[in-house]
Structure 1
Amino acid sequence: MSSTRVPAIMHVATPALSVVEAALAAGYDGVMIDLQHGEIGLDQACTMLRAIPRGNSYAFARAAGLEPGAIGRLLDSGARGIIAPTIETAQQAEQLVAATKYPPLGRRSLGPSRPALYDGPDYCVAGNAMVATIVQIETAAGVEAAAQILAVDGVDAVYVGPADLAVSYGLTGRADWAEGPVADGILRVAAAAREAGVRFGLYCSDPAFAAAEIRRAELDFVGIGIDLMFVGRQARATVAALAAALEEKS
C-alpha cells in the first residue's frame, strides 16, 4: 500500500474465500465481510477471515448487531476490526467496546481460534491496540449524537453509511451525495471524528466521488464497491455488448 493512498476496502457479501482473495489480489487494502447484508453466516465469515493474511489491519467484519458472542468469534478468527451498524447512542457504542476489547477496557473473553493473533508481552493490551472498534453512523439520529458516540473510550473509528443516512432524511437510498443533508451530515461526523481523535471512513460507490470525498472530508479509509454489485454491473455490460455486436452483424 502506498503511503500516499487512503486504504480502500471492498464490501464482501458472498460466502466465498475466493472473493476475499480476489479482492486483495486486485489491489484492495482490505475487505469488510458483511454479516448484516448478503448471505454470509457466522461460521462462513470465520472461515473467510482465514483467507486474509494475519498482518492485514483491514480485515474487517460487519456484525449483524451487538451480540458479544458472535463478535467474539469473529475476532478470535482473526478480524482486525468490527463494524457495528446503526449506532445512534453512546450506550450502544459502549456495548460495542465491551464486546471488542479485553479487560479492563471491555469484557471480551480470551480464547482465540487462530494462535498468536497478537504479539506483545501483554496479550490483552496488544489485542486492544490491534483490534479496531468501529461504529457505523447511518441515521440522522446518529449524526446528532456523533460527538457523544465518538467520545466513548475504546471507539477507534467511525464509518458512515450514506444510503441509510439518506433514507433517514427522507431521501432516496443511494451513496455519493455531493450536497444536501447527507453531505452535510458526513462533514459533521468528520468534524466529530477529528475532535475525538478517531479515524473516519465512508462508503462510496464511484471512484471519482471517493477521491473527492477523501480530500473534502479527509477520509482515513474508504469503502468502495460491493462484490455482488460488481458481478451485476459486469454481467449487464457483457450481455449488452453481446447484443450490440449481434446487432451490428445482422
Structure 2
Amino acid sequence: MKRAALGDGNPVLFHQTVPAFSIPEWAAAAGYDGVILDLQHGELGLEAACGILRSIPRENAYAYARVGSPDPAPILRLLDSGARGIVAPTVESRSQAEALVAAAKYPPTGSRSLGPSRPALYPGDSYTEAGDRAVSAIAQIETRTGVDRAEEIVSTPGLDSVYIGPADLAVSYGLPGRGDWEDGPVREAIAYLREVTSAHGVTLGIYCGRPEYAAGLFAAGLVDYTGLGIDLVLLNRAFGDTIAGLDSARSARSTS
C-alpha cells in the first residue's frame, strides 16, 4: 500500500479464507475498503482467488492477495487477474524482500513478465510504469528475526509496505499466539516498525481482531491501514451472537 494511495483515511481490509465470490461484495457494502485473499491459510486456491479478483472492480486499490511464498508463478497469475497488492509472509531478510519485489514489479525494478491480463488494468502512457505504481509489494513481518532485521528489509528498493502479523510475532517472543497487544514486546515492535517504515517512506499495516484496538492504533499514528477480522472468525462471532440472542429471548419469555 503506497502512501499516495492512502489519502486522508486509514483503509480497512479483511482476510478472506473461503472461495466465495459474494464475500468481498458484502464487505464493501458494509464499508470495508478492500480484501486480503488468503492463499496461505484457509480454503482459497489459486484458481478461486484469480476468479474472485476478476469479480472485484479494477479501480479498487485494495484487492490484495497473501501468498504462501514469493514464488513468482502464482504471484504472476494473481497480478494478471487484478491483484493490487501481494503480501509475502514471514519475511526475515533482505533477499526475501528482494524476491517479492522481483515477482511483483516489471523490469527494471523487478522481473515480472508482461502478458495478457484484464483489459485496461493499468491505464497510462507506459503500461509497465503504471503497473508498478498500481501494485504494492508488501512484506509481512511476523517474527522476532524480521523485527531485528527490519532496517535491511524495509530499505529494499521497490518495497511499498510492511504488514505485521501480531499472533506469530507474539509466539516468536514466547507469548500466547494472539493479536491486539496493548503492551509488551509486540507493542514495542509495532512502535519500532513505525519508526523504520516512516524513515523509508513505506507504509505500515497490521492485522487486528477488535475495532477498538484498530481505532487506537490509528489515533496513535502507529499504522496506516489494518486487516480487521477474518471471514470465518466474523461468521463465528455472528453465529454465536445470534444463538446467544435466541437463548436470551427464550429465557426472558420463560420468566415473564
Shorter-chain TM-score tier: over 0.9
The corresponding residue for 2:121 is: 117
Corresponding position of 1:95: 99
Question: Within 5 A, what are the aligned runs for 1:47-196?
Answer: 47-196=51-200
2:239 corresponds to 1:235: yes
**Aligned partner of residue 176 in structure 2, secondary structure:** coil
Cα deviation for residue 116 of structure 1 reads 2.1
Cα distance in 2 for residues equivalent to 1:52 and 1:42: 16
Q: Normalization by structure 1: what TM-score? A: 0.96
8 Å CA contact 2:190–2:222 kept in 1: the answer is no
Mark the runs of 5 or more structure 1 residues left unpaired by the alignment: none
Within 2, Cα distance between the matches of 1:216 and 1:179? 14
| Cα deviation digits, residues 162-205 of structure 1 (max 9, x gap) | 01100110101111001000000111111110111111111111
- Segments of structure 2 that go 5 or more residues without pairing to the other structure are none
Distance 1:216 1:47, change over 3 A: same
Mean CA deviation greater in 194-203 or 74-83: 194-203
Spell out, residue by residue over 1:205-228, the C-alpha distance to the aligned partner (whole angstroms, 9 max, x if none).
111111111122432211111111
| Alignment of 1:210 onto 2:192 | no
Size of the aligned set, in residue pairs, is 250
- Aligned match of 2:9: 5
Which whole-Å CA distance do the structure 2 matches of 1:25 and 1:249 have between them? 35
Task: Provide the identity percentage.
Answer: 52
What is the rounded CA distance, in whole Å, between the counterparts of 1:88 and 1:102 in structure 2?
23
State the distance in 1 between where 2:73 and 2:237 align.
Answer: 36
